[in-house]
Amino acid sequence: MPTTIRGPFSVFFNMIGIKKSKMHPNLCTYCESNFAKIMKQKQIPVSTTILFADIRGYTDLSQQIEAVKLNELLHHFYDRCSAAVWERDGIVNKFIGDAVLAIFNFPLIREEHVQNAVSAAVQLQKDCRHMKEEIGLSDVHTLGVGIGIHTGESYIGEVGTTYKDFTAIGPVVNLTSRLQGAAGIGEIMVTEEVFNHVKDQYPDAQKRTLTLKGINSPVNGYVIA
């Protein structure tokens, strides 16, 4: 695919609407824009690992600093998220305000997708550690990144008719979003399903029993960083 989207024939493909995807630099837009046509259905079940990352303290900060500085913060955050996810073969599916949704194991199928998502999260926290200082916000103590990771079967494909969106939906995505909300500044919160894949690497992980909004049963979460 890189030959198509970046090689000598890329101009022709761009003319017919096949361009480099914003979700991953080595993917094109064809599959995401023609998913139902290719797969013969709007969504398909896929074993995925979902990562949500969010800037803590962003809402309060938005009322205290000028828009230019706020945009600079988002640019730094988005760039670091993208680099960490792409390096481990995930896709950045959405930027949602001050949050990022990343998907691992589709369309780039990787056996180690759970470990890849955790590694991406660790790298992201490391890269964001000095983000405040880089943009002149070192005195804002409530500013940082919280991350949630869960794994399981999601439905991936097109959502909507008039306005079509390519994304992942289902309980796994919903739980990951809530889990991310429970993570503190600088924390990576994972579910038991994820922790079972990486527990040998994080023997000192802190276990928490969480009551999450919209989730019927308590969830065992593990803070690995």
Print the SS3 string covering 202-215.
CCCCEEEEECCCCC
| Predicted local distance difference test score (pLDDT) of residue 64 | 82
Q: Is the pTM of this model over 0.75?
A: yes
Q: Please, what are the domains in the chain?
A: 1-33 (no CATH), 40-223 (3.30.70.1230)
Over residues 40-67, the pLDDT tens digits come to 888 999 999 999 999 988 888 888 888 8
pLDDT of residue 47: 98
Ranges of H-type helices in 24-170: 30-33, 35-39, 58-62, 67-87, 113-128, 131-134
Query: Tokens for 112?
Result: 């180690």
**Residue 5 pLDDT:** 52
Using the 8-state DSSP alphabet, how is residue 85 labeled?
H
- Tell me what pLDDT residue 18 has: 59
- How high is the pLDDT of residue 1? 45
Angle separating helix axes 67-87 and 113-128, nearest 10 degrees: 150
Give the separation between CA 75 and CA 133, rounded to whole angstroms: 14
Residue with tokens 């824009």: 33
Output the pLDDT for position 58.
Answer: 85
8 Å CB contact between 77 and 145:
yes
* Res 25: pLDDT: 77
Res 159: pLDDT: 86
Q: Which residues of the chain have pLDDT under 50?
A: 1-3, 9, 11-12, 16
pLDDT at position 33 is 74
* DSSP-assigned states of every residue in 137-181: -TT-TT-EEEEEEEEEEEEEEEE-SSS-EEEEESHHHHHHHHHHH
- The answer to whether residues 221 and 187 touch, using CB atoms and an 8 Å cutoff, is no
